[in-house]
Amino acid sequence: MSTRRTALVTGAGRNIGRAVALGLAQDGFNVVVNGSADRAACEAVAEAARGFGVEALVVMADIGSAEACGALAAEAIARFGAVDVLVNNAALRPAAPFLEMEEQAWRRVIAVDLDAAVWLSRACLPGMLARGWGRIVNFTGMNAIHGYAGRAPVSVAKHGVWGLTKALAKEFGPRGITVNAISPGPIASDEERTDPAAIAYRQKAVARVPVGREGTPAEVAAVLRMLVSEGGAYVNGQMLQVNGGAET
């Protein structure tokens, strides 16, 4: 069993999750790469992580249930002994008019965007407590600051994640565990945008950013790497906005 600290990153096959997993590997953490569908992408991230001299484990899991979250954490803990850093990054962001939204769609977003952070934290915290050290970083996004038309379930879930972050920070801070959130602004994506509505939405979002561009996944990962470092030990219960100065 490795003596290195271990990070579990959900949604690690692409975009911000990929940059976070590779950044933490570069910093010497073993990484558990989680994805829900694209195993090839997750395997590629794991292979790149091993290039930094650490161990990497791919665990495919749809984190939309407590059972799946428990199984994901259990496999990581069985391999590495504990999860020292938990990054709750995976999320769904559908857009639909509130009055047209179906119950199943609502519950699916809440399950992945909010509940998964609850169940994974519950599964990983005992190991952190046993070691007297841990870091949990949740992703909120600007949905946790603004309420967006057509994105009610995402806004509700991300507000909930922010509440969870503050509550856990107070409960577990005295035990050597910090809990923080990162709120990215418009961030460049691996996927090419072809939908005109999506392109227009993104252009409008970028127009509100004073630095005049999208951010990069690496810029978000850099903030997270600071939070989980020893230098970030006094940052707890905070939401760090990585958004180029977009109005909040």
Q: Which residues in the chain show pLDDT less than 50? A: none
Q: The tokens 């984190």 sit on which residue?
A: 63
Asked: is 6-242 a CATH 3.40.50.720 domain? The reply is: yes
Give the tokens for residue 223.
């903030």
pLDDT score at 220: 98
Residue 134 near residue 84, CB atoms below 8 Å? yes
Residues paired with residue 60 on neighbouring β-strands, in sequence order:
35
pLDDT at residue number 208:
83
* pLDDT value, residue 189: 87
Q: Locate the domains of the chain by residue range.
A: 6-242
Q: Where are the alpha helices (DSSP H) in the chain?
A: 15-26, 39-50, 66-80, 103-110, 116-131, 152-172, 196-207, 217-228
Looking at residue 242, its pLDDT comes to: 95
Report pLDDT for 199: 76
Beta bridge partners of 88: 138
pLDDT number for residue 175: 98
